Amino acid sequence: MRIGSYSLANALIVAPMAGVTDRPFRQLCRKLGASLAVSEMVASNWRLRDTPQSRRRRDHGGETEPRSVQIVGADPAQMADAARFNVDHGAQIIDINMGCPAKKVCNTHAGSALLADEILVARILATVTAAVTVPVTLKIRTGVTPDRKNGVAIARIAADHGIAAIAVHGRTRSCAFLGSAEYDTIAAIKAAVDIPIIANGDVRTPQDARRVLARSRADGLMIGRAAQGNPWIFREIDHFLRTGEMLAPPSIGEVGATLVEHLHALHAFYGHHLGVRIARKHLSWYCKGRPGAAVFWQRVNRVECAAMQLRLVREYFDGLAEAWERAA
């Protein structure tokens, strides 16, 4: 799959997730098989550019190319300015957020709220694509409500205004993340335009990936929540789609070593104090469903020291590995 001048190694993309797809997470997912990872959404309002959070979100030091940055907003001029600003700071692809269903985003008429105003959608897309020379992509949902699935109309507007690819989450704005994703609308979008279409929503296993690609006829897949605590999902899906064979899941030793690597990256990126706190949600995802996870979580969740956090993680996974060997 190609996005503008960029040829991707495979068709697996990490979905932008606020508070999750920071640089350490993006780099880890790329290492484990994703061909592209989109940043957390960056506000288009220039007044928010110099906050510590915004500065971290535009930190691409050492990140594998191509670097994709998602911008969010509802004012065409501000969105164009944000696109230029982020390209000047290292973005090689600009992604426009018209898919987020969060109330705090939609209440500013941004994110998936924009899907209800096709005229404004066209103005934003025209202004942003004219502002930068890099590829511009778009993230949308299937429509506003189940009774107003206007994803095909939005996709046609996008194609007419030079958008390089569209990722479509298989739910409407009003559905948020409830119920099951549907792919017939994504298939209709794919049939309506001649640009790459990326299916998103409820891809949790390699078998899901093959089923969604067949149902949607999409060119690629965007995976978000299923990668939380499971970055190996990208290599597993890639292998399955190429060979039809299932890879063995990562060993306990590999999980522990990967988590330690992730923690080191978080501590270095955020600093030890904030890094320890940011790491807690990742710890809960990596350990979910594993033996003794509840007791381990109670201990590690109270830790404020980076070295202690790392030590407890090593001890926990060493114990799991030893128990596994004894059982074998």
Measured CA to CA, the distance from residue 96 to residue 295 in angstroms comes to 42
Q: Which residues are catalytic?
A: 100
Q: Tell me the DSSP string of 278-302.
A: HHHHHHHHHHTTSTTHHHHHHHHTT
- Which residues lie below 8 Å from residue 248, measured CB to CB, with a gap of 6+? none
Measured CA to CA, the distance from residue 95 to residue 41 in angstroms comes to 9
Taking the CB of residue 55, how many other CB atoms lie within 10 A of it?
11
Please state whether beta strands 2-3 and 42-43 pair in parallel, antiparallel, or not at all (unpaired): unpaired
The answer to whether 40 touches 20, Cβ cutoff 8 Å, is: yes
Sheet harboring 197-200: ordered strands across?
Answer: 36-37, 12-14, 220-223, 197-200, 165-169, 136-141, 93-98, 68-72, 42-43
Strands (E) located in the chain: 2-3, 6-7, 12-14, 36-37, 42-43, 68-72, 93-98, 136-141, 165-169, 197-200, 220-223
